[in-house]
Amino acid sequence: MLDKSVADTFSHAASLYKQHDVLQRITAKTLQGNAILTGHLADIGCGPGTCFSDFSSVSNVTAIDIAAGMLEQVRLNYPQYSTLNCDAQSLTLSANSVDSVYSNLALQWCDDFPKAVNEIERVLVDNGVCSLAIVADGSLPELQTLGFRTNQFASMPSLLSAFGVKDASMQSCNSNWMVLQAKVEKVTVYFDSLRSLLYSIKGVGASAGQAGSQSRAMLSKSAWLERVVLAQGLATEKGIPLTYHIAYIHAKKR
């Protein structure tokens, strides 16, 4: 089901997204560097849109997002793209209608990741390829140091199990998928302030509530100032660090 609260949050933030998508730009470069994108491309969780001009074999792009506001930005930035407002776990695309799927830091939002993978399989043609970047477990240790709780992200073995992979051999037990590449990379981004750091994590499905129970909004002024001081103590010459573990998965539908 499409989560209206998530959709509304992203819609309201759509016009400001590019000011805070530091991580997304880094992972997009890595993801595209190993992606096989051809024909009709579906960009799931497209945000304000991605340029695929480096992929000459891509004939047309369908930009898909849960937030209507993001798709408005896509139509401004890439008027040649088709747009589709739906959830990755329930794609409103016909079966066998897409040659390749691209998704950069969106699928960690899914409550049921295997369901999203099943939907990708359904819409892909035979031998179609998906290229995914997903926030994985081990991310955001600095937030815990600062006294914030963070939501849990899936491990790489858990993500790969949705493709039928059961062990480190990377051999899929599911005849419908062949995993071409899977790796986890650590990415550290830096921020000038704690406020900008916390704002950035909203775009990747993270939360930063107060350790225990209270949310960020419930922090007293003194508690907030304590965290600002702690964050400054973590700062390097580059700024306040925030570390992610990113799972990159490239898989072909058999």
- CA 158 – CA 63 distance, rounded (Å): 27
72-101 in b/e form (b: 16+ CB < 10 A) is bbbeeebeebebbbebbbebebeeeebbbb
pLDDT band with cut points at 50, 70 and 90 for residue 166: confident
Which tokens belong to 4?
């209206």
pLDDT band with cut points at 50, 70 and 90 for residue 171: low
In 3D space, the residue among 46, 44, 129 whose CA is nearest the CA of residue 89 turns out to be 44
Q: Is the pLDDT of residue 135 over 60?
A: yes
In 3D space, the residue among 224, 207, 220, 205 whose CA is nearest the CA of residue 116 turns out to be 205
Per-residue pLDDT, 57: 98
Q: Is the pLDDT of residue 84 over 80?
A: yes
Contact 121, 91 (CB under 8 A): no
Per-residue pLDDT, 169: 63
Per-residue pLDDT, 208: 66
129-137: average pLDDT: 97
142-163 pLDDT, tens digit each? 998 998 888 889 999 999 999 9
Per-residue pLDDT, 12: 43
- Report the mean per-residue pLDDT for the chain: 87
Please identify which residue in the block is written with the tokens 């139509």.
75
